[in-house]
Structure formats: C-alpha cells, structure tokens
Amino acid sequence: MDTGVNCGTSFAKPLLQRALNLLNNQGKAGYADLEVDGVYGAETLGALKTYLAKRGKEGEKVLVRVLNIMQGQRYIEICERNKSQEQFFYGWIANRVVI
C-alpha cells in the first residue's frame, strides 16, 4: 500500500515479482522466474505462497527488506533526475523505507 501511494502503482505492481525472482535461487526455491508484467495473477500468488511456505517468518522479513530497498532506490532515482525533489529525500527514507 505505502509503495503504491508513494511511488505509483505502475512502479509498485512489478516489485513483488522482481523480488520473488531475486529470491528464488535461479528456480531452485520451488518456483520459476516470474514474468515481470505487474499482474498479480495465479503464478505470482503461487510463487509467493511457495516462498513463504519454504522460508517462513524469516523469509517474510527478508522479502519486506528487499521491497524496501527497491523503494529506497526509487527515491534515489527520483532525486537524481530532479534535484528539486531532494527536499523530500530525508523524509522519504526516514518515514517510508524501513529495514
């Protein structure tokens, strides 16, 4: 929710797919790489369920960290493209990115 509001849904939708792809150990974690299309369909939900079943609570924490890192990178890119956005950077990191 937070990422969708602060970064826009076109950015937020594929984040989960990208994160799951990074965490699947080249398909050895029980699910293949997902197409990063921003659609939360059966394959994405199945991969998420498989990941969480295998990794449990610790895996959930790692997944959230990966998503937060990606969101933080988005804020860096925004500020690098538009210096006027630097006025918001500290607050974005302090209040939106939790690791």
pLDDT given for residue 6 in this prediction: 67
pLDDT given for residue 95 in this prediction: 87
pLDDT given for residue 12 in this prediction: 77
pLDDT given for residue 69 in this prediction: 93
pLDDT given for residue 4 in this prediction: 64
Taking the C-alpha atoms of residue 49 and residue 34, their distance in angstroms, rounded to an integer, is 13
Q: Are 3 and 11 in contact (CB under 8 A)?
A: yes
Report CA-CA distances (Å) from 4 to 13, 25, 28, 94: 8, 27, 30, 17
Number of folded domains that form the chain:
1
Low-confidence ranges of the chain (pLDDT < 50): 1
The domain of 56 spans 2-96
